[in-house]
Amino acid sequence: MDQISLEEILPKVEEITKEVGAFIYDQFGKVTKEQIESKAMNSLVSYVDKTAEEKIVKQLSVLIDNAGFITEEETVDQEIKDYTWIIDPLDGTTNFLYNIPHFSVSIALKHKEDIVIGVVYDVMKKELFSCFRGGGSFLNGHPISIGKHARLDEALVVTGFPYNKELAFKQSMQLMEYFLVHARGFRRLGSAALDLAYVAAGRLDIYYEATLNSWDVAAGILLIKESGGMVTDYAGENNSLEKGEIIASNSILHAQVHKLINHTFKSE
């Protein structure tokens, strides 16, 4: 396959994302209890997630011939190719279904081993975070950059909680306690994609979480990097997509946060 122009593809992905976001916006508050399915204890889904994904896949399929897809709802065959779209049609489904107006659409494009396009759309605020590799990160067309706070007591920290309550529960509580005491503030907002977008825009300073899927973070990882931030897994390596764990912050805070998280999860 010939190399594509990321600069030409990105605006088309942005339009698709906003169009699907408008569909989700229109469905907000309309889903009945009978239309909600439980995939697991803390994982809900409705026709909105599935229809949104179908719309995204249909339109992305014509942008790049023979591209693969990795999607949360698996409405299309899951296959990794030279170019692979990684899609979360509705990140923050529980917020959406409980009428909490904080959720997003997340679309990323991966070329071989590299994420090259990232788009996260805050549906209710109509805020579009987007980037392509080497082009910087933007919010509604305006450049954004990572926050500049250098001290933990100045930092606003955000996380998510693992769905499996038995997974490193003790360590998770230890970290939460530490940040509650030592950071400026601590948040759990319910959309990993938006958490990363907010860090990229300097609204939040530190995001960490484990037990994630690639569609939760793929777009956000590139947004962070293109805004001047750092992203690693808990071991400090560049394997967040594969390992499902992530630390995102500016370069000043990152070493301190990585040391703390790595030590906590290595402890008995």
Confidence tier at 168 by pLDDT (50, 70, 90): confident
- Rounded to the nearest integer, the mean pLDDT of the chain is 93
Which pLDDT does position 171 carry in this prediction? 87
Alpha helices (H) in 68-191, listed in sequence order: 93-97, 169-182
Maximal CA-CA distance, the chain: 52
Q: Is the pLDDT of residue 165 over 80?
A: no
Which pLDDT does position 105 carry in this prediction? 98
- The ranges assigned to domains in the chain are 6-144, 152-266
How many other CB atoms sit within 10 Å of the CB of residue 47? 12
Segment 9-65, tens digit of pLDDT: 999 999 999 999 999 999 999 998 888 888 765 667 889 999 999 999 999 999 999
Average pLDDT over residues 206-228: 96
Query: By percentage, how much of the chain surpasses pLDDT 70?
Result: 94
Beta strands in the chain (DSSP E): 36-40, 43-46, 68-71, 83-91, 104-111, 114-122, 127-132, 137-139, 142-144, 156-159, 185-187, 206-209, 230-232, 246-249
Q: Is the pLDDT of residue 166 over 60?
A: no
Class of the domain covering 6-144: alpha beta
Region 152-266: CATH code: 3.40.190.80
Segment 104-162, tens digit of pLDDT: 999 999 999 999 999 999 999 999 999 999 999 999 999 999 999 999 999 999 999 87
Segment 81-107, tens digit of pLDDT: 999 999 999 999 999 999 999 999 999
Which pLDDT does position 44 carry in this prediction? 78
Which pLDDT does position 268 carry in this prediction? 44
Which pLDDT does position 266 carry in this prediction? 77
The residue type at 56: I
Q: Is the pLDDT of residue 265 over 70?
A: yes
